[in-house]
Every structure is written in structure tokens, then in C-alpha cells.
Amino acid sequence: MPPIPPSPTPRIVIYYQTQHHPDGTPCSILPIITQPNIAVTHVNLAAIHLNDPPGHITLNDHVPSDPRYITLWAELQVLQASGVKVLGMLGGAAKGSFTRLDLDEATFEEYYCPLRDLIRQRGLDGLDLDVEEPMTLAGIIRLIDRLKSDFGQDFIITLAPVAAALISDNPEHNLSGFNYEALEVMRGKQIAWYNTQFYCGWGDVSRTDGYDFMIARGYPAEKIVIGMVTNPGNGSGWVPFEMLQEVLITLKSRYPGFGGVMGWEYFNSLPGDRERPWEWSEFMTKNLRDGFPTATSAAANSGASASALQNKQNPFLFADQDPKAEKEEAPLPKQFAYYSDSNTEV
């Protein structure tokens, strides 16, 4: 198969799961296109779940056709008409969807076909596969192949691994079960990029080390979108904007094809919080897509060549350890909670 057409980088990706305010009124996503100086490229609608029996699909806690989502679906169409790509996010912290898609062929068809029909009905531009439960490599490949077969090469398929899964081969540092390095070798041409979770103990966006190590392992810079929480209430690992700005400047200078950023999630994004959540996108647009300093020589600015990065220590090993030595494993980060419409008080 030919590779999917590249998308402009750096991308600005927003996860949109909390779609209503506590009083039940819609939390509009439209300001990302109506407010000035914002260039969001993709919105990931979260979270689609495949439940029992087959065909019982929910968007968070309700069926997608629930009247509460009338405004949501209409606004997403406006985004698409304005050039923003809208993807569905499948899975996430609520387990079960990928377990059901990882069974025998007949069972796969029973659960997959209603998902396919939902994608068609809502005109989604792609699907973000957030596999946070054990799944086989063969199972994720079957799902990717089927999506490409049904929707064509322009259909966007992304995955959302924790950062540790692209840094370490230790299965305890990977929520998905399958090996992402093997997946990239076997189906990399069909995967647009990775929305990599650098938060909740799985990565650190206050430093470039994790991203550097991923590139040293062979992942293309244009396929690594660095993910962050947009508010300390959305999970641990929030980084102040001054520090974050320095990291983004460094990555953009060091890697001309830098894949971009993603934020979990929209409704309470700082600095505007719930009153002005679009300001996070404004900050990212200013720093990623306007007037970023361009390196005359990426290698000179970074002070690190590809060969030097190959020798860089895995950030998931302790600082004073030899990477080849057998040492005690770093502690597994604790689980964290996703917030949805039924849990918005953070």
C-alpha cells in the first residue's frame, strides 16, 4: 500500500471529551475557528466505546444519537467545513473495546461493522486508536487494515501510546500489549502519527529527553505528536507555559519535521480555563505556527547529531545506571482518571 498523504506539521490536536458544562449546556468547540490567531489542525472526539451486546456503542455515557449531542454533531460539521479534521477516539481508559475487536473473525465483524457504520454516518475524517488494554499485534493490524480497506488511504489513523511505550521495551511501560516498534515496521505507512502521552508519569514534557530518545530509536519526528495535559486537574504532569515554550522551541529547532502537540482536553484548558478554553490553542498557534525561530542548522542548534542521540541514555533508566546493566525497574505510574460529561468537577 502507498503511504498516507502527509499532513502539515507541526499539528495542533485537541481532545474533546467533556462536551457539556455542569449545568448541561454545550461546551462549544467553535471558538477554535471563530476566535482570531488559532490554527488547530485536528480535533479528536472522545471517547467511543464498543459495549455488549455487539452494536451497543456509546459516546462517553450515551448513545451517539442521544439528543444531548445534536449541537455537538452540528458544530463538528462546521469545523470540517472550515478545514479542521475531526477524528473519533476509540477506547481510552474505559477498557473493553479493543478486547472485543481482538477476538475471532466472526466476533470481530459483529463489533466492527457498527463502528464502521457510525464513522460513515457521522463523516469522521479518521479514528484515533487509544489502546489502553492488552491487545495482540495481529489484532491491531487487522483493525488498521480493515479501516483502510473500508475508508481508503486518505482516512486518518492515529494511535495514542503512553510515551514510555515508544521509549522502553519493557511491557510494564506499555498499556497496549503489542510492541509499537514492531507495529511501525509492519504498518507504519498506514499510521499518520502517534498522539504520545507525555503525562501522568508516562513521560515528561518539561524536558526533551523522551522525544529525543524516540527519534534515536528510529521514529520519524513528523509522526511524534507530543501530548500534554492542558490543566493540572486533567492529570499529573502539567508544565508551566514558560517552561513548555522553551521545550517546544528546542524541539522545533532540532527537528524541522516536528510532529506537533496535542492537548488533553479542551473544556478547561489553561490559561483561559473553563471560561476561555480556546486560549491554549492560541498559545500553541503563536509558538508553533507563527514566527518560530528557524535553525540555520538543526544539528548546530541542538548540539546533538543523530549518532549522538543514539548514545543518549533511556530516560526510563535511572540517571546513574548503565543502560545495559540489569537494575531495578522504575516504578509503574499510578492509574489516572479521565473526565467526561458525568465527571467534570475537577
In this structure, is residue 33 part of a structural domain? Answer: yes
In this structure, is residue 337 part of a structural domain? Answer: no
In this structure, is residue 327 part of a structural domain? Answer: no
Total domain count for the chain? 1
In this structure, is residue 145 part of a structural domain? Answer: yes
pTM exceeds 0.75 for this model: yes
Question: Given pLDDT bands bounded at 50, 70 and 90, which one contains residue 292?
Answer: very low
Q: Residue 45 corresponds to which cell in the numbers above? A: 472526539
CATH, residue 169: 3.20.20.80
Distance separating alpha carbons of residues 118 and 124, to the nearest angstrom: 9
Tell me the pairing of strands 42-51 and 56-59: antiparallel
Phi and psi (nearest 5°) for 204?
-140, 110
Q: What is the pLDDT of residues 48-107, one digit of tens each?
A: 999 999 999 999 999 999 999 999 999 999 999 999 999 999 999 999 999 999 999 999
Other beta carbons less than 10 A from residue 159's beta carbon? 24
Is pLDDT at 190 greater than 80 in this prediction?
yes
Question: What is the span of the domain harbouring residue 99?
Answer: 11-310
Q: Residue 107 corresponds to which cell in the numbers above? A: 466476533
In this structure, is residue 49 part of a structural domain? Answer: yes
Q: Which of 37-41, 110-114, 128-132, 287-291 has the lowest mean pLDDT?
A: 287-291
In this structure, is residue 86 part of a structural domain? Answer: yes
Distance separating alpha carbons of residues 92 and 230, to the nearest angstrom: 17
Other beta carbons less than 10 A from residue 62's beta carbon? 13
pLDDT computed for residue 326 by the predictor: 38
